Amino acid sequence: MTANYSEDTIRTLDWKEHIRKRPGMYVGKLGDGSSPDDGIYILLKEVLDNCIDEYTMGFGKIIEVSIDEHLVAIRDYGRGVPLGKVVDVASKMNTGAKYDSKVFKKSVGLNGVGIKAVNALSSSFTIQSIREGKEKSVDFSEGELVKNHSQRNSAEKNGTLITFVPDHTMFGKFKFIDEYIEAMLRNYTYLNTGLTISYNGQKFQSKNGLLDLLQENMSGEGLYPIIHLKNGDIEVAITHGNQYGEEYYSFVNGQHTTQGGTHQVAFKEALVKTVRDYFKKDFDASDIRTSIIAAVSIKVEEPVFESQTKTKLGSKDIGPKGPSVRNFIMNFLTTKMDDYLHKHGDTAHAILKKIQESEKERKAISGIKKLARERAKKSNLHNKKLRDCRIHYNGKDDRKDESTLFITEGDSASGSITKSRSVNTQAVFSLRGKPLNSFGLTKKVVYENEEFNLLQAALNIEDGLDGLRYKNVVIATDADVDGMHIRLLLLTFFLQFFPNLVRNKHLYILQTPLFRVRNKKETIYCYSDEERQAAMEKLGKNPEITRFKGLGEISPDEFKHFIGPDIRLEPVRLKKEDDIQEILGFYMGKNTPERQNFIIDRLRVEEDPVEVA
pLDDT by residue (tens digit) across 482-506?
A: 888 999 999 999 998 998 898 888 9
Is the pLDDT at 72 greater than 60? The verdict is yes
401-427 pLDDT, tens digit per residue, is: 889 999 998 777 888 899 999 999 999
Show the beta-strand stretches assigned E in 380-455: 386-387, 404-409, 426-431
Confidence of residue 383 (pLDDT cuts 50, 70, 90): low
Residue 494: what pLDDT?
93
Is the pLDDT at 610 greater than 70? The verdict is no
Task: Select from 3.40.50.11540, 3.20.20.70, 3.40.50.300, 3.30.230.10 the CATH code of 210-361.
Answer: 3.30.230.10
Which residues 6+ apart lie within 8 Å of 230 measured at CB? Answer: 209, 210, 236
Residue 463: what pLDDT?
81
Whole-angstrom CA distances from 557 to 418, 532, 551, 563 are: 11, 21, 13, 11
> Which range (52-56, 207-211, 378-382, 383-387) has the least confidence?
378-382
Q: Is 133 left (phi over 0), alpha (psi -120 to 50) or beta?
A: left
Distance in angstroms (rounded) separating the CA atoms of residues 579 and 220: 7
Q: Where are the domains of the chain?
A: 15-204, 210-361, 383-512+548-575
Percent of the chain with pLDDT strictly greater than 90: 48
For the question of whether the overall pTM of this predicted structure is more than 0.85, the answer is: no
Is the pLDDT at 351 greater than 90? The verdict is yes
Confidence of residue 307 (pLDDT cuts 50, 70, 90): low
Residue 4: what pLDDT?
57
Is the pLDDT at 547 greater than 70? The verdict is yes
Residue 7: what pLDDT?
52
The arithmetic mean of pLDDT across residues 527-545, rounded, is 92
Q: CATH second-level architecture of 15-204?
A: 2-Layer Sandwich (3.30)
Confidence of residue 523 (pLDDT cuts 50, 70, 90): very high
The arithmetic mean of pLDDT across residues 427-447, rounded, is 89
Residue 364: what pLDDT?
86
The arithmetic mean of pLDDT across residues 291-302, rounded, is 90
Is the pLDDT at 245 greater than 90? The verdict is no
Helix axes 580-588, 592-601, angle to 10 degrees: 90
Is the pLDDT at 613 greater than 90? The verdict is no
Comparing CA positions, the residue from 152, 171, 165, 133 lying closest to residue 30 is 171
Comparing CA positions, the residue from 439, 457, 434 lying closest to residue 447 is 457
User: E strand or H helix at 198, and its extent?
Assistant: strand 196-199
Confidence of residue 10 (pLDDT cuts 50, 70, 90): very low
Which stretch, 88-92, 238-242, 361-365, has highest mean pLDDT? 238-242
Comparing CA positions, the residue from 204, 201, 200, 189 lying closest to residue 66 is 200
Torsion of CA 281, 285, 290, 293, to 10 degrees: 100
Q: Is 283 exposed, middle or buried (0-12, 13-18, 19+ CB in 10 A)?
A: middle
Is the pLDDT at 372 greater than 50? The verdict is yes
Q: What are the DSSP calls for 134-193, one per residue?
A: EEEEEEEETTEEEEEPPPEE--SPSEEEEEEEE-HHHH-S----HHHHHHHHHHHHHTST
Confidence of residue 220 (pLDDT cuts 50, 70, 90): confident
Residue 107: what pLDDT?
54
Q: Give the fold, CATH level 3, of 383-512+548-575.
A: Rossmann fold (3.40.50)
Q: Answer for the pair 187, 40: CB distance below 8 angstroms, yes or no.
A: no
Distance in angstroms (rounded) separating the CA atoms of residues 21 and 59: 36
- Find the angle CA(603)-CA(606)-CA(612) to the nearest 5 degrees: 115
Is the pLDDT at 112 greater than 60? The verdict is no
Residue 535: what pLDDT?
94
79-108 pLDDT, tens digit per residue, is: 999 998 888 888 876 554 543 444 445 555
Residue 3: what pLDDT?
53
> Which range (184-193, 206-215, 413-422) has the least confidence?
413-422
Count CA atoms closer than 13 A to 191's CA, side-chain side.
Answer: 29
> Which range (91-100, 136-145, 154-163) has the least confidence?
91-100
Name the DSSP class of 605.
Answer: -
In what side-by-side order are the strands of the sheet with 544-547?
Answer: 523-526, 515-518, 544-547
The arithmetic mean of pLDDT across residues 421-439, rounded, is 91
Distance in angstroms (rounded) separating the CA atoms of residues 337 and 333: 5
Confidence of residue 320 (pLDDT cuts 50, 70, 90): low
Residue 140: what pLDDT?
94
The overall average pLDDT reported for the chain is: 85
Q: Which residue has better confidence, 7 or 385?
A: 385
End-to-end CA distance of the chain: 54
In three-state secondary structure terms, 525 is strand
Q: Which residue has better confidence, 320 or 90?
A: 90
Confidence of residue 380 (pLDDT cuts 50, 70, 90): low
Residue 118: what pLDDT?
93
Confidence of residue 13 (pLDDT cuts 50, 70, 90): low
With residues binned 3-state (H G I as helix, E B as strand, rest as coil), the percentages for the chain, rounded to 5, are 40, 20, 40
Q: What number of other Cβ atoms are within 10 A of residue 362's Cβ?
A: 15
